[in-house]
């Protein structure tokens, strides 16, 4: 590649960056996303003819990085420019208006010629992203959304599978996740934990619509990751301390539980013929329209624990359930469980009572995948375990 062509690329990228900074005061996040996508587009489409890698690619990126850093300062390292290029390759149809592309094609050099680009950033500053695109067709994964910052997209690029990436885009927008919260959900394999109990059609729905709650089994994840409590893994942990930590971190706990949970009470007393029982936590699920009772067990789940939960669920169904409420659900959060004990103790009641393990630290991806493989073997029965050996 000759020096004249390198200069042409530099001037175009320089113009994108300077124009982006004009609109950044109004919409820093969206302007940054657009700017980085356009830079990636220039590198991939114009200089590399759409190929993912060219022989001169490294020299091109290195030279561009030096010149941009010299004029604009930090933020244009070789690694960052590689990320911009990857961003364009993974999101080739982000929804940038054709007017912007046209001006770039005609040789956008400076801010003074960037009217379409300035208009783009002004509209983004009004939180409408690109109105001419948004009104033409509804948003879907892969299109720009003003609620996704550059940090969101940078995290999404770490996920290789398109269906999982689409799922996290949808969930981040529906639940207004910060970039930090999305990073936690991705690290905790939120998609994989939900996918554990779903068939092929269910997996396709996850990628297309995100986490939708249609039946009780859609609500609970196993395991539940609760590293936000700051509690150490210890056999001496008592249930009262676990409960207090959950109450102290109720917002984070609600995020881990998922959409639809509303907190009702803690340590609710039931009195039956002079005997007192105390329910650890009571929630109401606004989507399923039912009470959800949560019992905490710091040891291994026993059939007595399941029997106690049956008592709580039956009581709520008979004494607290109102007209329009669906049957009460029970969730036992425990350190360990035996799925066979759950299956044979509950029988048909397994549609109303669930048991999930909790983790007090964020396991590695390998550890979580191993946990889920063990869960699949347990749920599949003895024949599957024999085949797995």
Half-sphere exposure of 204 (CA within 13 A, CB side): 3
pLDDT in tens, 347-378: 766 788 999 888 888 777 777 777 666 666 66
Distances (CA, A) of 238 to 220, 224, 245, 248: 23, 18, 11, 16
pLDDT of residue 41: 87
Please write down the long-range contacts of 303-308, taking CB distance under 8 Å and 24 or more positions apart: 303/341, 303/345, 305/332, 305/334, 306/332, 306/341, 306/342, 306/345, 306/346, 306/353, 306/355, 307/345, 308/277
pLDDT of residue 98: 62
Average pLDDT on 152-173 reads 92
Strand bridging mode 329-336 / 353-359? parallel
Quick one: fold of 216-388? Answer: Trna Endonuclease; Chain: A, domain 1 (3.40.1350)
> Taking the alpha carbons of 282, 284, 288, 290 in that order, is the dihedral positive or negative?
positive
Q: Tokens 């554990």 correspond to what residue?
A: 196
pLDDT of residue 296: 94
For residue 113, what is the DSSP state?
A: G
Q: Which two tokens stand for residue 112?
A: 């003074």
Burial class (CB in 10 A: 0-12, 13-18, 19+), 12: buried
Beta-carbon contacts of residue 15 (< 8 Å; ≥ 6 apart): 108, 109, 110, 111, 113, 114
| Calpha distance 387→389 (Å, rounded) | 6
Classify 112 as helix, strand or coil: helix
pLDDT in tens, 66-101: 999 998 888 889 999 999 999 999 998 887 666 555
Residue-wise DSSP of 341-358: HHHHHHGGGGGTEEEEEE
Answer yes or no: is pLDDT of 345 > 60.
Answer: yes
Answer yes or no: is pLDDT of 268 > 90.
Answer: yes
Report domain extents, the chain.
3-134, 159-209, 216-388
Cβ distance 259 to 209 under 8 Å?
no
Average pLDDT on 13-36 reads 72
Compare 25 and 378 and report the one with higher pLDDT. Answer: 378
Compare 54 and 321 and report the one with higher pLDDT. Answer: 321
pLDDT of residue 369: 72
Average pLDDT, the chain: 79
pLDDT in tens, 190-225: 888 877 766 667 767 777 778 778 788 888 888 888
pLDDT in tens, 288-326: 999 999 999 998 899 899 999 999 999 999 999 999 999
> Which one, of 318, 331, 324, 330, lies nearest residue 358 by Cα?
331
- pTM: predicted TM-score of the whole model, two decimal places: 0.67
Q: Which two tokens stand for residue 366?
A: 């390998």
pLDDT of residue 97: 60
Residue-wise DSSP of 180-240: HHHHHHHHTTHHHHHHTT--HHHHHHHHHH-S---SGGGT--SSEE-GGG-PPP-TT--HH
| Calpha distance 279→266 (Å, rounded) | 7
Distances (CA, A) of 138 to 69, 132, 133, 182: 38, 11, 9, 23
Q: How confident is the model at residue 21 (pLDDT cuts 50, 70, 90)?
A: low
Task: Provide the total of helices (H) and of strands (E) in the chain, helices listed first.
Answer: 19, 6
Phi/psi of residue 24, each to 5°?
Answer: -65, -30
Q: Which two tokens stand for residue 13?
A: 């990228």
Cβ distance 206 to 191 under 8 Å?
yes
Half-sphere exposure of 359 (CA within 13 A, CB side): 15
Report the 10 Å Cβ neighbour count for 262: 10
Average pLDDT on 263-275 reads 92
pLDDT in tens, 57-71: 677 888 889 999 998
Answer yes or no: is pLDDT of 54 > 60.
Answer: no
| Calpha distance 42→48 (Å, rounded) | 9
Answer yes or no: is pLDDT of 25 > 70.
Answer: no
């Amino acid at each position: 590649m000759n020096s004249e062509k390198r200069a042409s690329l530099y001037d175009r990228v320089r113009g994108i960056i300077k124009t982006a900074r004009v609109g950044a005061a109004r919409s820093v996040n969206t302007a940054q996303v657009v700017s980085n996508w356009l830079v990636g587009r220039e590198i991939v489409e114009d200089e590399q003819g759409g190929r993912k890698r060219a022989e001169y690619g490294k020299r091109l990126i290195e030279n561009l990085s030096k010149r941009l850093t010299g004029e604009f300062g930090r933020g244009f390292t070789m690694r960052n420019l590689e990320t911009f290029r990857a961003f364009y390759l993974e999101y080739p149809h982000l929804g940038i208006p054709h007017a912007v592309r046209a001006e770039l094609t005609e040789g956008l050099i400076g801010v003074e010629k960037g009217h379409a680009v300035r208009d783009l950033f002004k509209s983004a500053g009004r939180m409408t992203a690109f109105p001419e695109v948004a009104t033409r067709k509804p948003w879907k994964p892969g299109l720009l959304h003003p609620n996704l910052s550059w940090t969101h997209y940078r995290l999404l690029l770490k996920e290789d599978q398109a269906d999982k990436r689409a799922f996290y885009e949808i969930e981040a927008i529906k639940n207004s996740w910060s970039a930090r919260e999305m990073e936690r959900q991705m690290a905790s394999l939120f998609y994989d934990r939900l996918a554990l109990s779903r068939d092929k059609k269910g997996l396709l729905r996850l990628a297309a619509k995100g986490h939708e709650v249609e039946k009780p089994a859609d609500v609970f994840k196993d395991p539940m990751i609760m590293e936000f409590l700051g509690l150490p893994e210890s056999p001496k942990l008592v249930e009262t301390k676990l409960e207090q930590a959950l109450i102290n971190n109720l917002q984070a706990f609600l995020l881990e539980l998922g959409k639809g949970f509303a907190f009702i009470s803690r340590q609710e007393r039931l009195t039956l013929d002079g005997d007192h029982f105390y329910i650890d936590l009571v929630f109401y699920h606004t989507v399923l329209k039912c009470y959800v009772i949560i019992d905490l067990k710091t040891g291994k789940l026993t059939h007595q624990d399941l029997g106690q939960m049956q008592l709580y669920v039956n009581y709520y169904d008979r004494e607290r359930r109102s007209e329009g409420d669906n049957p009460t659900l029970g969730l036992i959060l425990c350190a360990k469980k035996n799925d066979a004990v759950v299956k044979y103790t509950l029988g048909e009641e397994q549609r109303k009572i669930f048991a999930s393990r909790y983790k007090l630290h964020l396991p590695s991806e390998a550890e979580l995948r191993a946990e889920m493989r063990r869960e699949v073997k347990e749920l599949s029965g003895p024949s599957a375990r024999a085949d797995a050996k």
